[in-house]
Structure 1
């Protein structure tokens, strides 16, 4: 009995030591330093994403008039079309069909907007700015083939039945292929397509199709990305589902009842799991907002400094669909100070040494 107790005690010590060591961890690495989320497509969105609207995401001009390149990564994603159809479960009553998937493709490749506008805006800034030390990278969301949907449409003359995993995978591959055909034909000289993003933020109803879709994306020389919400089902098993990289959402900004310590927890968890972290804010972070959430954005900045995220972690940025743009238009000095502080951290991360460290995650 005593020997059994000793063995149990040793196992407990070993487990505790392992947990402490794994808790230290390191943030994961990928070749995108700062990935800003661009919600584009749905008719309900506040932005059409023209060249003028992209400018504050490409270039930051500080309070002294100094300009620098800003985000190196752009994630285009959409959850619904704004007309009653959804590209991921739960956002409206009706699931998007092949017709709506094709419509979303058209929106992405619309002239003078979206990819086209981003590419042109970068081109226009090149002669005015110091030489780029990075390539602007593009990640694109894949609509989710929602489980049990029967009315999606056909691929090669066959009706797709999304109660069957193979049909869901077929539809996902169809979208990837159509996108790549159109992207290649467009010839954007200032963008580099890095991969595709899974718009479902947990693995409910989609776990079985993630690995084959990821394998198909990798067969094209691209990567498969994910940003699960706090405690989402499957978030701690992102490698099991064969994502190439994942960022963790702290989900702190939106609810004032959630303490600032949540951001520290998210950073610790991201290090333990080899993930990146997401910064979150929107227009409610403006000083004039009735919500008065500028302090919550400040909390992210301080926590990311404190936890080494700015120094070591790839970071995704949720900004509410137009937050950066509205901050750039604000005349309030407090807004300028806050955005200058955030932008200064992002700009520092574009040094060659940091990008070299991040690029170790390249394949």
Structure 2
């Protein structure tokens, strides 16, 4: 469910105890406003494999895979789970490559040792309890999670290698996009503590300074890039980074510097703002390479189908891509399968299916739930959705 991810819909979050103030309209106690100066430019040093790229990497079908928080069950993405996202076998027994991009992201870890858990983006709570802002140690734990040998990227490498042995190698490597945690200015929602994150090169960072917030993100980016360089995967590659904050309100003064840094490295910078999020229509001015708009239609039956038309039209006007969204409520027993079908219908009607890059929010593992369901209606929807993905004209375009 997007309640365990980055959907910004309070009605869904309530099912799991997770809430986010940006969707509910409620606000945490606001610390005193502080607007630091714009950060200084960063100097980029690309690896050879980055320097050799003619352009930043792109994907046509980017699936969101949440993990790294200990509230997830199952906790890790092993080869068995990932296999259902790498390939699809149709009703005639023919196997196809499915998603070509894999976004690894996490919004919180509410069960970190003793005391309160941590959030990786501003505005989230768990069971109505506040979460602390994540530190460098927490950010490193996410990196370690992504690069585990038998789960995460290591498992993805294994699955793609096995599939390539029978299908032949895909035209391009499967691309992994890594989420950058938000450098949240304050340690706690009701405190003025800004020097809490940790140090880089022996100097403690103070998030009251925009340069230090950017420096933390640069450290994260460079640590991830170094891991990819060291491991030299044969079947997957780093496709870029994702900005976890779904609105620009708290980070507008630092996004541009981070975008320029990634651009110099030939790494893509991706964003998925929620519907009518602050700054969404100005995504190009921040330097993002790709921005996908969330229609936020699936999760509440009070949202009319016309939202999909509105989202498609807004995205077209702003030059944005789109996100397709569903969760376990798409199961026939839950009664909301029609809303997933409405996405597919609207996206075809507006030319999104044929021409746009798509991101796919599918709950924790709702695509697998449909595939493995005992209900024939669920399996029918599974095949309908996968056909929607693998037959998109944009996948075969030059």
- Whole-angstrom distance in 1 between the partners of 2:394 and 2:272: 25
Where does residue 6 of structure 1 map in the other structure? none
- Whole-angstrom distance in 2 between the partners of 1:110 and 1:132: 24
* Aligned 8 A contact 1:138 1:194 in 2: yes
Where does residue 316 of structure 2 map in the other structure? 271
Paired residue total: 325
Larger mean Cα displacement after TM superposition, 52-61 or 327-336? 327-336
Would you say 1:124 and 2:151 are equivalent positions? no
Gaps of 5+ in 2: 1-55, 112-116, 126-130, 187-193
- Whole-angstrom distance in 2 between the partners of 1:251 and 1:322: 18
Where does residue 344 of structure 1 map in the other structure? 387
Which of 177, 196, 219 aligns to 1:151? It is 196
Deviation, 1:66, is 2.7
Which structure features the higher share of helix residues? 1
Q: Cα distance 1:215–1:65, how it changes in 2: closer, same or farther (>3 A)? A: same
Where does residue 14 of structure 1 map in the other structure? none
Would you say 1:317 and 2:360 are equivalent positions? yes
Larger mean Cα displacement after TM superposition, 257-266 or 62-71? 62-71
How do 1:101-120 and structure 2 match up within 5 A? 101-120=139-158
Where does residue 227 of structure 2 map in the other structure? 182
Gaps of 5+ in 1: 1-28, 357-363
Where does residue 270 of structure 2 map in the other structure? 225
Q: TM-score, normalised by structure 2?
A: 0.79
* Aligned 8 A contact 2:121 2:244 in 1: yes
- Whole-angstrom distance in 2 between the partners of 1:30 and 1:194: 5
Q: RCO higher in 1 or 2 (8 Å CA, sep ≥ 6)?
A: 1
Q: Cα distance 1:110–1:343, how it changes in 2: closer, same or farther (>3 A)? A: same
Q: TM-score, normalised by structure 1?
A: 0.86
Would you say 1:160 and 2:198 are equivalent positions? no
* Aligned 8 A contact 1:30 1:314 in 2: no
* Aligned 8 A contact 1:122 1:190 in 2: yes
Query: Computing the radius of gyration over CA atoms, which structure comes out larger, 1 or 2?
Result: 1
* Aligned 8 A contact 1:196 1:225 in 2: yes
- Whole-angstrom distance in 1 between the partners of 2:394 and 2:297: 29
Where does residue 31 of structure 1 map in the other structure? 58
* Aligned 8 A contact 2:322 2:358 in 1: yes
Deviation, 1:169, is 0.6
Deviation, 1:324, is 1.1
Deviation, 1:214, is 0.8
List per-residue Cα deviations over 1:296-340 (Å, max 9, x = no partner). Answer: 111111111111111111010000121112112113211122121
Where does residue 67 of structure 2 map in the other structure? 40
Q: How much is the aligned-residue C-alpha RMSD, in angstroms?
A: 1.6
